[in-house]
Amino acid sequence: MKLITRDTDYALRAICSIAKSKNKIVPVSELVKELKIPRPFLRKILQLLSKKKIFRSYKGSGGGFTLAVPVNKIYLLDLIKIFQGPIKLNECFLKRKTCPNTKRCALKKKINKIEKYMFKELRPVTVASLLAKDKEG
Q: How far is the CB of 135 from DNA (least distance, A)?
A: 29
- Residue 54, exposed/middle/buried by CB under 10 A (0-12, 13-18, 19+)? buried
Span of 38-46, 49-57, 60-68, 87-95 interacting with a second copy by CB under 8 A: 87-95
**Contact between residue 67 and residue 18 where contact means Cβ atoms under 8 Å apart:** yes
Residue 54's binding partner among a second copy, DNA, none (Cβ under 5 to 8 angstroms by kind) is none
- Residue 67, exposed/middle/buried by CB under 10 A (0-12, 13-18, 19+)? buried
- Answer yes or no whether residue 73 interacts with a second copy by CB under 8 A: no
- Answer yes or no whether residue 13 interacts with a second copy by CB under 8 A: yes
Considering only residues 34, 40, 105, 109, which one is a binding residue for DNA as defined by CB under 7 A?
A: 40
Considering only residues 20, 29, 116, 133, which one is a binding residue for DNA as defined by CB under 7 A?
A: 29
Give the separation between CA 14 and CA 47, rounded to whole angstroms. 12
